[in-house]
Each structure stands twice: as structure tokens, then as C-alpha cells.
Amino acid sequence: MRKKVETPGSAYVRKVFFSPEDKCWVALAPEIMGCAAHGDTDAEALKELDAAIQLHLDVRHSAGLSIPKPASGQENDGRVLLRLPKTLQKSLREAALVEGISVNQYALYLISMAHGQRHPVLA
């Protein structure tokens, strides 16, 4: 009998949404490439996803492959280091100056707008 990996599927980030195209609920585990499930309800899709995650982890363990660590166990300190081309950095600095805010605030505004969230800096 294979040893079962003790990381519960719920430890991983899980996303669930309704797919009009497929006419069902789809659940994904973005941290585990290709791990997805579906169901008639969101709860059923998540339950199936937990089973799919467990199976995926068991197979990786049996094959001697590393087990991905859940992001929930990783610390998010709010910092991101970016290396920018000089021309982009200059353009961001000039735009931030026009808005009367820091480059950091302006970059946060641009990222949150592109990511679909409104940020109060320029809203």
C-alpha cells in the first residue's frame, strides 16, 4: 500500500467559478499545474478538487518528485522587487510626478488597475 501524503488539499489556494461554456462549476488549484475538477455545485467541485489534489500529491510522492508547498504557508510581506528598463522607470517617475504621488504609489495604482481592482490612490 502506498503511503498517503499528509498535506490536505484545502491547504492549497483553490479557486472556484461557474463556467457557462461547460455548464458546470470548475475548481482549480493554481499552485499545482493542471490540477482541476468540476461539479454540479461549487461545493461538489471543491470536494472533487480536494480528491484530485490528494491524488496528484500521492503520485508525485510515489514518483519521488518534490511536493509543492502551499502558498498559505508562505509569508506575504507586501514587497516585490522589480528590475525595470531605464526608460520605463523614467516614464513611471514622470507620470507619478504629474499625479503628485510617489513612484511606488503610482506603480501600485497601475498594477491594481490591470489586475481588476480599484485602488484609492487616483480613484
Map out the domains of the chain as residue ranges.
9-73, 77-123
Q: Hey, what long-range contacts does 107-110 have (CB within 8 A, 24 or more apart)?
A: 107/82
pTM: 0.55
Neighbours of 69 (CB within 10 A): 12
Task: Return the CATH fold of 9-73.
Answer: Double Stranded RNA Binding Domain (3.30.160)
- Residues of the chain where predicted confidence (pLDDT) is lower than 50: 1-4
- Quick check: 104 and 97 in contact, CB under 8 A? no
What pLDDT is recorded for position 76?
A: 66
Strand partners, 24: 19
- Which cell numbers hold the place of 49? 478538487
Rounded to whole angstroms, the Cα distance separating 68 from 80 reads 21
Position 54 scores a pLDDT of 92
Per residue in 99-121, pLDDT (tens digit) is 999 999 999 889 888 877 665 55
Question: What is the model's pLDDT at position 1?
Answer: 40
What pLDDT sits at residue 5? Answer: 52
